[in-house]
Structures are given as structure tokens and as C-alpha cells.
Amino acid sequence: MSNSEEIKVTPIITKEKKSRDGLYILIILLLLLLGGYLGWQISQKNKVINECEFSYNENEKELGDLNEMLYAQGVEDGEDLKENLQNMLFDFESMENLNTDLNDSILSQKNKIETMLADLKKEKGNKRYYARKVRKLTEETETLRMIMKDYVRTIDSLHTENVILKTDLSNSQVDLTNMTSDRDNFKTQSDELSAKVNAGSKLVANGIVSEGIKEKGSGTYKETTRASRATHIRSCFSIGKNKIAAKGNKMVYMRIITPGGSILYASNSNTLSTQDGKTLLYSDKKSINYQNESLDVCIFYKLKSEIESGNYIAELWCEGVRIGTNNFVLK
């Protein structure tokens, strides 16, 4: 190759090299710009992450403080619940001595209470879940309380029936003696009895005892002389034996007259009609099955609100006639 040919090739190589160098520089600049942009993006993301971590830590702290508050309240409520469960356990144990027929069922409820007490003690150190456990056991306690009230009503009803049966047996023996005597003296007394039929057919309430009653948490009742403590007013009495009165179902009404002269009643529809055509409000009523024998009756009126202190009157009515009245005082 001649010298002139070598001189012509050299400029072409130099020009291609410069073009490649410019392309490399452009690529490097783009990479630097891209790297800077990515660095800025990473910086922004880190800033957001730091803010999220800060918020998370603050929320964790607030949650911890809230758990402490709930736990403290749960401990306080748990002590009250523990006391209530222990009282209920004592009440169930007392019921075992009153009615042996319910012993199996009462034992089952006692086992539930003992299990609940054990759960309460087991979870006391769990700050996160203790308050929730107390709330759950409190709801179960209300169910047990309703069961206890049913037991109390059943036991009271059976007791009342036993008293009535004993009274009926005693009265039956007396009646047998009286009937024998009446048979022997019937001829001489017939005229006198005929004159007394109309007046003697009316029922009479004897031995009336009216008083304030407070319903306890266990569903039992306790007498009280305090108007502010009374939840019910009760009248207990005995409807006397009356051979000439009509047998069958009868409604006995109780009217409670306040110191101010008003009537305690639950509804405006609570009215009775007297034999002389008057319409009177009554406080409460009870259906009885009268078979001419002495019959013990109790009527309860549940108070709607706290009542005033003073002298009260309890009137008892049956078949449009007042069959008894009684005064009592609530302080």
C-alpha cells in the first residue's frame, strides 16, 4: 500500500471514535440522571417509612396505655364479679337444704359457678384479655341469676302448697266434726240459717298483714318498713271458711291507698266493679280457687317508682264487695 492511501484512512477512524465517545458520555449522563432520580425517590420513600414507623410507635404506645386502663377497670369489675359469684354460690348451697328435689340441678349450677371463679382467677394476670373475660363472665352471671330466681319461685310455690295442704287437712278434720254436729242440730237451726244465707254468703279476709317488701338480687324477698327501700307492697291474709258461698274460681283485688288518698296502680285499665255500680281502680289482683274452706292468699304489687312515707291502707275486694282492710306504716 502506498503512503497516499494510508493518509486517507486515518480521518475516518478518528471520526468514528469521536462518535462512540459522545455516545458513551450521553449514556453516562443519562445513568447519572437516572441514579439521581432513583436516589431522590429512595429518599422520599425512606421519609415516608420513617413517618409510618413514628406513627406506628405512637399508636403502639396509646394501645398499651389503653390496655392498662382496660385492665385496671377489669380488675375492679372482676372483684365485684367474684363477690357476686361467691354470694350466688352461697345462695345455691342454701337452696339444697330447702328442696331436695332440685339438688341435681342446683349442683350443676354450683359447678358452673366454681368453673367461672376458676376462669376468673386464671385470666387475672392476662392484661390483654382479662377485661374481655370479665365482661363475658358477667353476662353468664346474669343467666345464672335468672335461673336462681326460677328456683326461688319454685321453692316458695311448693312451700305455699305444703302450708295450704296442711291447713286443708286440719280444716277437713274440723269440718268433719262440725258437719256431724250440724247434722244433729239441723232441725233446730234451719230457721236461723235461712235468715243468714244472704249475708253469710260473702267472703271475709282474716289476719291481714300488709307491708313493704324489698326484692333482693337473688330473687328472694325481705320485709322493710322504709318507703325508700320498698320494691313491692304485699298483703297476706286468710279467706275464711264459708259453707254457703259459691265454689269456684274467684278474683281477689288489692287496693293500696297512699297517705295522700290516691290509689297505686299499674294501668288505667285496672278497674273493678262494686255491687252498688261503682268503678274503682285496683293495685293488683290474684285468682283463687275457693272451695268453701279457709284459704291463705298473698298479693304482691310491684312499685313503679319510689313512694312517699306515711300511713297506707290496703283494701281487699272480691265479687264487688270489700272483704277486708288493713292499715300499715312506711317510714
Residues 26-30, mean pLDDT to the nearest whole number: 85
Has residue 316 got a pLDDT over 90? yes
61-65, 94-98, 146-150, 250-254: range with lowest mean pLDDT: 61-65
Q: Over the range 266-303, which residues count as b (16 or more CB within 10 Å of their CB) and which as e? A: eeeebebeeeeeeebbbbbbeebebebbbbebebbbeb
Q: What is the pLDDT of residue 7?
A: 46
Residues 60-71, mean pLDDT to the nearest whole number: 56
Cell numbers for 225: 318498713
Sequence-distant (≥ 6) Cβ neighbours of residue 222 within 8 angstroms: 213, 214, 216
All domains of the chain in start order, with CATH: 1-166 (no CATH), 202-330 (2.60.40.3880)
Residues 16-23, mean pLDDT to the nearest whole number: 73
DSSP classification of residue 209:
E
Cell numbers for 175: 269440718
Has residue 69 got a pLDDT over 60? no
Has residue 29 got a pLDDT over 70? yes
CA-nearest of 317, 325, 239, 235 to 278 is 317
- Distance, CA of 208 to CA of 314 (rounded, Å): 9
Q: What is the pLDDT of residue 135?
A: 81
Q: What is the pLDDT of residue 280?
A: 94
- What's the pLDDT tens digit per position in 151-206? 667 766 766 666 676 776 667 676 666 766 766 665 566 555 554 555 567 899 99
Q: What Rg do the C-alpha atoms of the chain give, in angstroms?
A: 45
- Distance, CA of 225 to CA of 325 (rounded, Å): 19
- What's the pLDDT tens digit per position in 88-140? 777 777 776 666 666 677 777 778 878 888 877 777 767 666 777 778 878 87
Sequence-distant (≥ 6) Cβ neighbours of residue 91 within 8 angstroms: 148, 218
- Distance, CA of 301 to CA of 256 (rounded, Å): 9
Helices (H) and strands (E) counted in the chain, each on its own, are: 3, 11
Q: What is the pLDDT of residue 309?
A: 93
- Distance, CA of 320 to CA of 280 (rounded, Å): 10
